[in-house]
């Protein structure tokens, strides 16, 4: 390894931030696998996943409680530790929360909604 390569490796390692985030791996088939994000950088992350779980080469990674998702590719695996390279990063659209009045209106029975009539039988 040349001095330039060694310096680049240490620079990349220095830019990593240690984390203890809860993550969720989602495969292209829709399988969701819980994981732990141990560290993260601009180009990749280190995950902790059970050794018994077989991972595909590419999958989606979502960090619980954060509004983004990453498309990642498997870089390496040693035991329960997994290194991934970030291929694409996307911000999730926040879910729209209805005001309290609107939520209550959607819980009404069909005859109670605005614009409907209730008929009473007269016998």
* CB within 8 Å of 67: residues ≥ 6 apart: 91, 92, 94
Predicted TM-score of the model (pTM): 0.64
Q: How far apart are CA 4 and CA 115, in angstroms?
A: 73
Structure tokens at 121: 């039988």
Indicate the helix (H) or strand (E) that contains 36: strand 32-40
**What does the pLDDT look like over 62-114, one tens digit per residue?**
998 888 899 999 999 999 999 999 999 888 777 776 666 555 555 555 555 55
- Cβ atoms of 11 and 49 within 8 Å: the answer is no
**What does the pLDDT look like over 13-30, one tens digit per residue?**
548 889 889 999 999 999
pLDDT at 44 over 90: yes
């Amino acid at each position: 390894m040349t001095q330039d390569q060694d310096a680049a490796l240490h620079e990349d390692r220095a830019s990593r931030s240690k984390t203890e985030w809860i993550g969720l791996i989602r495969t292209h088939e829709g399988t969701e696998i819980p994981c732990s994000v141990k560290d993260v950088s601009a180009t990749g992350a280190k995950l902790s996943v059970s050794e018994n779980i077989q991972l595909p080469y590419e999958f989606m990674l979502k960090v619980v409680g954060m509004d983004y998702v990453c498309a990642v590719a498997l870089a390496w695996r040693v035991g329960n530790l997994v290194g991934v390279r970030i291929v694409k990063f996307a911000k999730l659209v926040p879910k729209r929360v209805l005001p309290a009045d609107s939520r209550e209106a959607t819980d009404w029975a069909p005859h109670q909604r605005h614009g409907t009539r209730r008929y009473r039988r007269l016998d």
